[in-house]
Chain A
Amino acid sequence: MTNIENPKVKIKARNMTVHYGDAQALHGIDLDLNANEVTALIGPSGCGKSTFLRCINRMNDVIDGCRVGGSLSIDEQDVYDAAVDVVELRARVGMVFQKPNPFPKSIYDNVAYGPRIHGMAQDRASLDALVERSLKRAGLWQEVKDRLSASGTSLSGGQQQRLCIARAIAVNPDIVLMDEPCSALDPIATAVIEELMEELRRDYTIVIVTHSMQQAARISQRTAYFHLGDLVEHGQTETIFTTPQHQQTEAYISGKIG
Chain B
Amino acid sequence: MTDKIDIRSANPLAAQAYQARLKKRYRAERRFRAYGLAAIMTAGMILLFLLNAIIFASLPAFSHHYMRLDVEISTDYVSAQTPQEGNYLGLVRAALREQFPDVTARRDKRALYKILSLGAADGLQKRVMAAPDLVGTRVSLDVPLSDDIDLMLKGLIDRSLPQSDRIVSDRDLVWVDKLLAEDRITRKFAFALFTNGDSREPEMAGIRGALVGSLWTLLVTLIVSFPLGVLAAIYLEEVAPKNRATALIEVNINNLAAVPSIVYGLLGLAVFINFFHLPRSAPLVGGLVLALMTLPRIIIPTRAAFAAIPPSIREAALGVGASRTQVIMHHVLPLAMPGILTGTIIGLAQAAGETAPLLMIGMMAFIVDVPGDVTAKATVLPAQIYMWANNPERAFVARTSAGIVVLLTLLLVVNAAAIYFRRRFEKRW
Contacts and interface: CB of A to CB of B under 8 A. Distances in A.
A116 B429 CA distance: 18
Contacts of B391: none
Interface residues of A, number: 29
A236 interface: no
Nearest to B243: A64
Contacts of B315: 59, 95, 97, 101
Interface stretch (A163-171, A189-197, A201-209, A223-231): A163-171
Interface stretch (B58-66, B119-127, B223-231, B317-325): B317-325
Interface in A32-86: 57, 59, 62, 64
B319 A95 contact: yes
B330 to A, nearest CB: 7
Given A64-B241, A101-B312, A104-B335, A168 B319 contact: yes
B401 to A, nearest CB: 46
A56 B429 CA distance: 32
Chain A at the B interface: mostly helix, strand, loop or mixed?
A: mixed
- Interface magnitude class on chain B: 20 to 34
Contacts of B323: 87
Given A64-B241, A104-B335, A113-B330, A97 B312 contact: yes
Nearest to B310: A101
Contact of B317 (A94, A103, A171): A103
- Counting chain B CB atoms within 10 Å of each CB, the highest count among A117, A118, A151, A168 belongs to A117
B52 interface: no
A164 B425 CA distance: 24
Interface string A79-115: 0000000011111001111010111110000000110
B116 to A, nearest CB: 66
B313 interface: yes
A102 B316 contact: yes
B241 A90 contact: no
- Counting chain A CB atoms within 10 Å of each CB, the highest count among B241, B242, B320 belongs to B320
Contact of A97 (B242, B316, B326, B331): B316
Contact of A90 (B320, B330, B429): B320
Given A87-B323, A103-B331, A151 B429 contact: yes
